[in-house]
Structure 1
Amino acid sequence: MKGGMNSLVRQAQKMQSRITKVQEEIGNKTIEASTGGGMVTAVVNGKQELLQIKINPDVVDPSDVEVLEEMVLGAVNQAMEMAGEMMNSEIEKITGGLNIPGLF
């Protein structure tokens, strides 16, 4: 029984090591999401950190700032969601869909 537990612990440690490596690799990737037909683009990294906002000057209308705000918010939220999905997908490949509390 003791040998089986040691084996399980070693497997969990290997899995944690692989997850950490994947998290680092994904953290260096960038994800872009656009709204308004490309008028506003948000760029985030795999750590879900906002890196850049690109705004086409044609969308800037001082009399209607709300539309621009909504497009920025939409692009950022979409990019963040995509980054989270990418991280979850890669981790699921390692864990086989297991949800092990404290592992990642």
Structure 2
Amino acid sequence: MNDFTKILDKARELEAKVKESQEKIKNIKVEGVSGSKSVKVTLDGEGEMVKIEIANEMLKEEKSIIEDLIVAAHNNAKIQLKSITAEEISKATGGLGIPGFKWPL
């Protein structure tokens, strides 16, 4: 029974660490850029776009070019967010691979 108690204690500890990491992740802000930094997109830790900046000189470009740069900046930010999120979860789990666990991004 003692081993089972230890397992439960470790599981509770891991759960607390993961919850703490989730709270930290919510506060993360990442910025993706494209077009020589002429388009910037900011995402929060949950992957929601919270800001977009387009340089004035870009407004003279064709609509399709601006659209492509927005998508590229968003994708750049999302890659950064996935990396930071994975790192944060790894810290919480001590590098344990949790089968089937995927962060919602």
The TM-score bracket by the shorter chain reads 0.7 to 0.9
Structure 1 stretches of at least 4 aligned residues deviating more than 2 Å after TM superposition: 99-104
Distance apart, 1:101 and its partner CA:
4.4
Who is 2:35 aligned against? 36
Question: Is the CA contact (8 Å cut-off) linking 1:29 and 1:45 kept in structure 2?
Answer: yes
Gap runs ≥5 in structure 1 = none
Gap runs ≥5 in structure 2 = none
Q: Secondary structure at the match of 2:95?
A: coil
Q: Deviation per CA, 1:51-95, whole angstroms, max 9, x where unpaired?
A: 011001111236x21111111001111111211211111111221
2:53, 2:74 → 1: CA distance? 11
Question: Is the CA contact (8 Å cut-off) linking 1:46 and 1:84 kept in structure 2?
Answer: no
Q: CA RMSD in A?
A: 1.8
What is the percent sequence identity of the aligned residues? 25
Match of 1:93 among 91, 94, 97: 91
Who is 1:73 aligned against? 71
Q: Which amino acid aligns with 2:85?
A: M
Distance apart, 1:29 and its partner CA:
1.9
Q: Which amino acid aligns with 2:76?
A: Q
Aligned length: 102
Question: Is the CA contact (8 Å cut-off) linking 2:17 and 2:93 kept in structure 1?
Answer: no
Question: Is the CA contact (8 Å cut-off) linking 1:39 and 1:59 kept in structure 2?
Answer: yes
1:21, 1:43 → 2: CA distance? 23
TM-score (norm 1): 0.86
- The aligned runs of 1:1-104 (5 Å cut-off) are 2-61=1-60, 64-101=62-99
2:5, 2:76 → 1: CA distance? 42
Question: Is the CA contact (8 Å cut-off) linking 2:39 and 2:52 kept in structure 1?
Answer: yes
